[in-house]
Structure 1
Amino acid sequence: MQIAYHAKYPQLVCVILLSFNFANAAQIICGENNSSAEFENNFNIILKNLVNNTSSSNRFNTSSYGKTPDKVYGLLQCREDTTAKECFSCSQDANTTIRDVCKNARGGRYLLGNCFIRYENYSFFGILDTKPRVTPNKRNVTEEPDVFKRAVTELFNNLTEIALQSSTRYSSGLTRTTTLYPINGELQCWRDLTSVEDCRTCIGQAIRNLLDVTFTDHGTLQGGAPECGSCFARYDTYPFFNPAPPPPPSPIKLLSPTATKSSNKLGIVLGIVAGSLVMLLLCLFAIRRKFKFALSWKQAVLRKVNLDSEVDSAIGQEQEIIFNLENIKAATSNFHEDNKLGEGGFGSVYKGTMPNGLQIAVKRLSVQSSQGKKQFLNEIKLVAKIQHRNLVNLL
């Protein structure tokens, strides 16, 4: 147990760190111990309301009860990736623990693995609180720490923008540096913080506090989890969050017999009109193509010759292996998310297996990427020249 001062309360507060394992690291902070019997009664009612309503109300709930000065305000929120069952279980554990540890205290907060609970004798809803508490993962990064740091920073930058654009202010994701260190990251603002800028400020402060603890002159740690009063951030080299579920299928609408007949008649008419238009367009296209075919073919040949010469020059190899798009799609299951290895500034990288058993990694440019042919050739030239035990061969 550690005893520390808290800026909010002039008296001593108790900070208890439970670290049976890092995935369930917990932090409890209790306020001053001068609550009345009326406050305790209101406190018990608030906890009961929060636990009963949070898991069934989209993982978030606030509640208040009583009269000043014994009125109690409470908030309970589960991580966005938790199921209703996990949320309810965590809420019950948080309820029991904060009741036992913060007994007779007029305020407290508890960050458990899957949920966060807070109560006070004043309304704190929507008020930005960036006071930090960080739980570090004390395992050191032993290979390429500078590369690891850059990857963590880039991951948090991407997750921050995703969280701020989300209605739930939550994001999670994975990136990779080497096969030894996949990096999992997660961010979330508590939903009472409705201001986007306040959420950005809180997340930014949480990340800075985290990196100040995990990135030091004495070493680089593999993970950490800071919690502020209004948000939390976390990264580690093992998965600790649930992957996002696939979107539900669109509902099937059933039509009445009358509506079906009307739809059929309308469909026939539209089909005839559309067919006529298509035939007309095909005729015009065929005529136009006849006159421009020779010129288009010549330009295409010239473009291919120029590109091939640039690639040959950049790679400097006598033999190339050419993959067409359909083979790449088949090898990566049409760029399925399960095959995604990571994401960089220009796009995502996917693993794949060719029909002959050859395992490959494929980089797919993002539609938002500004990378052009010149940058593409420069990247090929660079990767082809690098020889390192953690890099696969460029095909």
Structure 2
Amino acid sequence: VVASAAVAQSNEIDQWFRIDCSTTGNYTRGSQFEKNLNQLLANLSAGAIAGDWFNTNSVGTGPDQVFALIMCYADVGDATRCKECLARAPAGVRQECPGSRAVTASNDACLLRYSDKPFFSPVDVTYNASTNISYTKAGDQIVVQNMATMNNTRWQLLSMLAERAGDNTLRIDNRSEPYVDSLLGTSAMYGLAQCTRD
């Protein structure tokens, strides 16, 4: 999981900057899967809030079993914002992804993931909060001349962070990497990687 520190007001907690909802094989209203999901999400946040801002659990058996994980990012630094995100995330995700059997959602304070398939412990690099975003313009002003250099630096930084976070006992790492742009000159790119604790 890669996160960047940002300032957010509590009303922005419901704003996901990345949400992936399954679109095939979805559950139907009133199904056993939905009942298990509702039970799981109702207790998942409370366990994370009462504990150390992290919780995993599963409910049900067979094809109706649901696995879930919820956590705050280590760089949030504001216990109130973390708690609000944990408390509001399940309802926000159900609203954004009705009927989805698998969801991964993150904002600048927390991550919520659930699935009809077990995902605890194995390394999963299919989801990260970083995508190829273009920063070449802000309005009419060019802010990055060489996007390829910036993207290469970003992927180099993220690869290094992921490796070092996995080797660190706290499962987190933050660093910077220099890059040169003909418009900006020499700049630094900052990043943070945090592993889930399952």
TM normalised by structure 1 equals 0.37
CA distance in 2, matches of 1:40, 1:125: 20
Letter in 2 for 1:65: V
Tell me how far 1:49 sits from its aligned partner.
1.4
Q: Give the structure 1 partner of residue 22 of structure 2.
A: 30
CA distance in 2, matches of 1:190, 1:159: 14
Q: Give the structure 1 partner of residue 59 of structure 2.
A: 65
Cα deviation digits, residues 316-344 of structure 1 (max 9, x gap): xxxxxxxxxxxxxxxxxxxxxxxxxxxxx
Tell me how far 1:51 sits from its aligned partner.
1.0
* 1:79 aligned onto 2:73: yes
CA distance in 1, matches of 2:159, 2:104: 27
Q: Give the fraction of aligned pairs with identical amino acids, expressed as a percent.
A: 26
* 1:120 aligned onto 2:115: yes
Q: Give the structure 2 partner of residue 106 of structure 1.
A: 101
Q: Indicate the structure (1 or 2) with the bigger Cα radius of gyration.
A: 1
CA distance in 1, matches of 2:134, 2:156: 22
Tell me how far 1:163 sits from its aligned partner.
0.8
Letter in 2 for 1:34: Y
Q: Structure 2 stretches of 5 or more lacking a match?
A: 1-11, 137-142
Q: Give the structure 1 partner of residue 192 of structure 2.
A: 186
Cα deviation digits, residues 240-275 of structure 1 (max 9, x gap): xxxxxxxxxxxxxxxxxxxxxxxxxxxxxxxxxxxx
Tell me how far 1:185 sits from its aligned partner.
0.8
Letter in 2 for 1:131: T
Q: Structure 1 stretches of 5 or more lacking a match?
A: 1-19, 193-395
Q: How many residues align?
A: 171
Cα deviation digits, residues 39-73 of structure 1 (max 9, x gap): 22221121121111213422221011233332222
* 1:130 aligned onto 2:145: no
Cα deviation digits, residues 162-191 of structure 1 (max 9, x gap): 312222322123344467733111212222
Over aligned residues, Cα RMSD in angstroms? 3.2
Flag the 1:40–1:179 CA change in 2: closer, same or farther, 3 A. Answer: same
Q: Give the structure 1 partner of residue 90 of structure 2.
A: 95
TM normalised by structure 2 equals 0.68
Cα deviation digits, residues 195-225 of structure 1 (max 9, x gap): xxxxxxxxxxxxxxxxxxxxxxxxxxxxxxx
Letter in 2 for 1:166: N
CA distance in 2, matches of 1:97, 1:72: 18
Q: Give the structure 1 partner of residue 7 of structure 2.
A: none
CA distance in 1, matches of 2:131, 2:149: 23
Question: Quick check: 1:26–1:113 contact (8 Å CA) kept in 2?
Answer: no
Structure that is richer in helix per residue = 1
Relative CO higher for 1 or 2, CA cutoff 8 Å, sep ≥ 6? 2
Question: Quick check: 2:27–2:100 contact (8 Å CA) kept in 1?
Answer: yes
